[in-house]
Structure 1
Amino acid sequence: MFHHRAVDEVRALLVPEDFYRPAHETIYRAILALRADDAPTDPIVLTDYLLGRGDLSRVGGAPYLHVLASAPPTVANAEHYAEIVRRKADLRRLRENGIRAVQWATEPGADPDAIRSAAEAELRTERDRALASGGGRLSRYLVDGWRFVTETGADTDPLWGTREQTAWSSGESLMIVGPPGVGKTTLAHQVVLARLGLQSTVLNMPVSPSERVLYLAMDRPKQIAHAMARRITPEHEAVLRDRLAVWQGPLPATLDKEPDLLADLAAAHQADTIVIDSLKDAVSTLVDDALAVAFHNARMRALRNGVEVMELHHQRKATADAPRGQRPTLDRVYGSTWITSGAGSVLFIAGEAGDPAVAIHHLKTPTGEIGPLQVIHDHERGTTTIEPTFDPVAILRAHPGGLTTRDLAAVLSGQANPDRSAVEKARRHLERLVKSGHARKTEGAAGGTGGGQQARYQVSNLHIAVG
């Protein structure tokens, strides 16, 4: 009950007067005072605080404080326990209001209108008290519009990628999906190692550093360890000991049963990043909409606590034999639609098990779409690189005369007559290269029907020199 996180949740629901016993009201006031000063709220500090104010013996002494602190089986249920106290307090006040109304009505010369007015005033006071108690359930997460836009992370740099092309956005989960054996874990490990500062980019995109990563290795932990060992050398020991924690095997409970468990695990292991490998081992069933929503609540509670979340997941078995090269869609992701609806970014790896050459499709994008990327897994070293023949910079370098957006779209899509969507994707690729200095643009010229000249893009002189 005295855990800081529990205190923060409880004070949003309860005021000291909600407690029936005066001793509990005094103890709760002391806890709130300590928390307001950012001081510890454990029984030892609380004992000292109450002793200094002459209240310790009145509340039952130090032994009673230790009994209270150990009474709740888990701090994850603090909010539920607070709801019980609040409901009972509300019922007591309503009963007291009713008794007063009866007493008024039995007095000689009682005025019904005056009694009704007084009773309504009591009810309004009770309603206002309930709404204002510690911030109240209805306002606990309420901020004004300006703070929402400027202070809730909408303008932060991504965890992986750029602002124009974001693979993983801060405050939103990243889901990596695909059939078995296509390199989901290989890709995830590279991102994890980059979060630990052991590399700076993954797939040519920057990755921001993390303080500490908790990896939930629930799906074949030994295989996960073997896969990660491909990238590890003795000089990495200090970083891995200090900044990477690994949970091996099943969780104490599924996340749909205990939505606070994900956030509690992160807090217990002081992690600001959690990797779930994989979702099928974390939720009772993924096809039930209600359980999918319960899992999303677990995901959101972790994100709300400042924990970044990456999830590894599988595709539907029925579509495992989809034609090679066909662009996947979100309905190929296994489980309820609410699993992907709550994710911030979804990367789908398409290919055959064990195939070094696979395609990465960005099915759900925080900002601009990434790819599709044709990539090569080096299964011996545990690395993934973009296939050079599909790298826009490499393509430009191979065409000294430059390319139009339609030219690049034809190369990337493999279609002689690319559709409008493919052309627009190529245009975004080229404009980003111009902005980053990797390419230069020569504006086209307007013309009549069938005339004119399209803009052409060429690799910049700098990149020609280093090529």
Structure 2
Amino acid sequence: MANCSPKSSTFRVRSEGRPVTIAIDIPDRTDVGPVIEAERFIIGTALTEIDHTPGADDLAPTEFLQRSHELIWRAILAARAAGEPTDPVAVGERLRAAGDLERVGRMAYLADCTSAAMGPGTVAHHAGIIREAATRRARVQQVARLSQLAGNDEQWERHAPQLLGDLTAVAGAAVATKGFGGTLLRRSQLRTLPPVEPLIDGVMSRRATVLLVGPSNTGKTFVLLSWACAVGTGTPWLGREVHRTPVLYVVGEGANGLDARVSAWEQAWKTKVTDDDVIFAVRPKSLGDPETWVGMREQARRAGSGMVVLDTFSSLGPEVDETKDAATITRRMADLAAAIDGTSVLAHHPGWGDPSRARGGSQLEANVDEVLILSGTSSNPMLELERKKVKDGPAGERTWLRRRAAYGSCVIEGVSASEKNAEMATSAEQIARAVFGEPFTKTMLRDALMERMSVSRTTAYEHITSLERDRVLRYVSGKGRAALFEMV
């Protein structure tokens, strides 16, 4: 005998002559808003993709909550099975032939669904929302059926064991993911994920979180703007191919000077930046406010932006703790990148006394996909850009840049290996002669070069090797690390 109601999750039955209580967690209700939005996203993406939607292809029409969505999805699957197009017009004609076009809201609703589409990288997440909601509905239906059997011992003994078995299995699967919130992917689904692709070849990847670290007054903003303008217009960045996509550039320090900087880039590369290529958001609310990230996400989605630049951490989040809040900020960057199926880039300052790492918590570098270190000084136009951390591939690649005053502002140029060696070696020699009047160790020279040139340890040692090769650095006395040298 069972004692239950449609809202109850407790069943008291007899098993082998003994009373047994079975408790199953049944949700009282499902918040349908996110489910409907997820369904619109899946349908909109399917209507704009050519042949499939990785991560959602195995969704059954009956898993859709809204009847009109079930009909549309059924038509999409039928069109795919027949090898026919799945654009709004083709799917609309298939629905019309089945007599369902009026039921789904006519062609206007299909067109409206396409506006909800985002990138394929978030399909699996939204498909998971639909599946979880369908599982909850199935559990409630099972409870309702058990309630109908509760007053009839004969019917209970005949049908309840199977229903309870099914319900327990479904509930167990749901409990396993309750509160987890992640997207579960099978091995076969991993093969459908988009590969790692460059946004700017040899600089950063698509669908990634990127941290650019560089000291003040070295040209971080000029570098960021050159990336944004190149990506937004599809112009190769210093000879490196880019994936063209609109860019949302978020500025924390105000818009003064932006026009001159963008104009200088346009003249240098003979390319106009249109209103659709790069959109600027000036002085938004703090990065510490979750609503700021929601607003950025929605603005980027409306503009179709596949790249969002945050310039800089300190100006956009003045009250944010760079140590305690580091993990939260990087997680929000990842959520933003996933929502736009693109790349989020955050500019930040280096640590005190260590130009090769980001200031604040170690999570800033640990939790992002890629880290770029920009080294240089305000007095020297030469800059070094190092890929310290890479999403997929070897790290350590370096690009040499130069700030050049031009067109009433400043532009970023590439520097050849020969130019770099000549100019940087001269700078290293000047620093060594200016700092040391007496013999010094290589460690002392290394530290001086890192501090004054804002270069990495590896680059500093390269300069020292170059000075030795050019015979302007001479051994004096001592051994090992204590060996002393002087300038010739």
> TM tier, shorter chain?
0.5 to 0.7
Cα offset for 1:301? Answer: 0.7
**Structure 2 residue 177 is matched with structure 1 residue 152:** no
CA distance in 2, matches of 1:157, 1:23: 39
Alignment check: 8 A CA contact 1:18 1:86 kept: yes
Q: Is the 1:348–1:361 Cα contact (8 Å) retained in structure 2?
A: yes
- Per mean C-alpha deviation after superposition, the further-off stretch among 211-220 and 79-88 is 79-88
Contact 2:64 2:130 in 1 (8 A): yes
Instruction: Give 1:225 shift.
Output: 2.1
SS at match of 2:291: coil
Residue pairs, 1:172-191, within 5 angstroms: 172-191=208-227
The CA distance in 1 between the partners of 2:212 and 2:285, in whole Å, is 24
Pairwise CA distance, 1:243: 8.0
* Compared CA separation, residues 142 and 392, structure 1 to 2 (3 A): farther
Tell me what 2:278 maps to: 245
Counterpart for residue 342 of structure 1: 367
Structure 1 gaps, min length 5: 162-166, 399-406, 416-421, 434-439, 441-449, 451-467
Deviation at 1:127, TM superposition (A): 6.7
What is aligned with 1:232?
266
What's 1:403 paired with?
Answer: none
The residue type paired with residue 354 of structure 2 is: R
SS in 2 for 1:152: coil
* 2:33 is aligned with 1:5: no
User: 1:301: which partner in 2?
Assistant: 338
Q: Distance in 1 between matches of 2:64 and 2:417?
A: 68
1:216 aligned counterpart, secondary structure: strand
- In 1: Cα distance, 2:182 partner to 2:420 partner: 51
Q: Does 1:310 align with 2:345?
A: yes
Q: 2-side partners of 1:271 and 1:72: how far apart?
A: 16
CA RMSD after TM alignment:
5.7
Question: Would the aligned equivalents of 2:135 and 2:174 in 1 still touch at CA under 8 Å?
Answer: no
* Contact 1:228/1:382, CA 8 A, preserved across alignment: no
Change (3 A) 1:118 1:313: same
Match for 1:369 among 396, 399, 415?
396
Q: Could you tell which deviates more after superposition, 293-302 or 244-253?
A: 244-253
- The alpha-carbon deviation at position 226 of structure 1 amounts to 1.4
Say if 1:328 and 1:381 are closer, same or farther in 2 by CA, change over 3 A: closer
Letter aligned with residue 25 of structure 1: E
**Partner secondary structure for residue 54 of structure 1:** coil
Distance 2:398 2:68 in 1: 63
Change in 2 beyond 3 A, CA 1:253/1:144: same
User: What's the counterpart of residue 204 of structure 2?
Assistant: 168
d(CA) in 2 for partners of 1:372 and 1:410? 26
Amino acid at match of 1:312: A
CA gap of 1:411–1:146, structure 2 versus 1, over 3 A, is: farther
Tell me how far apart the structure 2 counterparts of residues 26 and 374 of structure 1 sit (CA, whole Å). 56
Q: What is the match of residue 419 of structure 1?
A: none
Deviations 1:4-31 (A, max 9, x none): 3388699479642235665553244235
Change in Cα spacing, 1:137 to 1:26, as seen in structure 2 (3 Å) is farther
Task: Render the CA deviation track for 1:284-315: whole Å, top value 9, x for unaligned.
Answer: 96433564144223344168x2x344333345
Q: Specify every segment of 5 or more residues in structure 2 that has no aligned partner in the other structure, as ranges.
A: 1-39, 48-52, 428-440, 450-455, 470-478, 480-488
2:411 is matched with 382
| Partner secondary structure for residue 354 of structure 2 | coil
- How many angstroms does 1:52 deviate by? 0.9
Partners of 1:35 and 1:250 lie apart in 2 by 46
CA contact (8 A) 1:12 1:140 kept: no
Q: TM-score, normalised by structure 2?
A: 0.56
| Counterpart position of 1:444 | none
User: Are the equivalent residues in 2 in contact too, given 1:377–1:383 (CA < 8 A)?
Assistant: yes
Q: Determine helix, strand or coil for the equivalent of 2:372.
A: strand
* CA displacement, residues 211-242 of structure 1 (integer Å, 9 cap, x when unaligned): 244141534234122123223329824x5349
Aligned AA (1:345): V
Return closer, same or farther for 1:137/1:267 CA change in 2, 3 Å cut-off. same
Contact 2:227 2:237 in 1 (8 A): no
TM score, norm. by length of structure 1: 0.58
Check 1:20–1:283 CA distance in 2 against 1; reply closer, same or farther (3 A cut): same
**Alignment deviations for residues 188-229 of structure 1 (CA, whole Å, 9 cap, x no partner):** 33444555575663xxxx522332441415342341221232
Amino acid paired to 2:309:
V
Q: Equivalents in 2 of 1:208, 1:181: separation in Å?
A: 28
Deviations 1:407-441 (A, max 9, x none): 999976658xxxxxx9976788999x9xxxxxx9x
Partner secondary structure for residue 212 of structure 2: strand
Give the CA deviation at 1:183: 1.2
Which of 347, 354, 363 is the equivalent residue of 1:327? 354
Is 1:223 aligned to residue 257 of structure 2?
Answer: yes
| 1:224–1:96 CA distance, 2 compared to 1 (3 A) | same
Paired amino acid for 1:327: D
2: CA distance, partners of 1:308 / 1:38: 33
State how 1:22-421 maps to structure 2 within 5 Å.
22=67, 24-31=69-76, 33=78, 39=85, 42=88, 47-57=92-102, 59=103, 62=106, 66=108, 89-104=134-149, 106-109=151-154, 115-124=160-169, 138-140=183-185, 143=188, 152-153=195-196, 159-161=200-202, 167-169=203-205, 171-192=207-228, 195=231, 201=238, 207-219=240-252, 220-233=254-267, 236-237=270-271, 239-241=272-274, 244-249=277-282, 256-257=290-291, 268-279=302-313, 286-287=320-321, 288-289=325-326, 291-301=328-338, 305=341, 307-314=342-349, 326-333=353-360, 337-343=362-368, 344-349=370-375, 351=377, 355-357=379-381, 360=384, 362=386, 364-366=388-390, 367-369=394-396, 378=405, 381-383=410-412, 391-392=420-421
* Distance verdict in 2 for CA 1:121–1:389, change over 3 Å: closer
Whole-Å separation in 2 of the counterparts to 1:284 and 1:6: 42
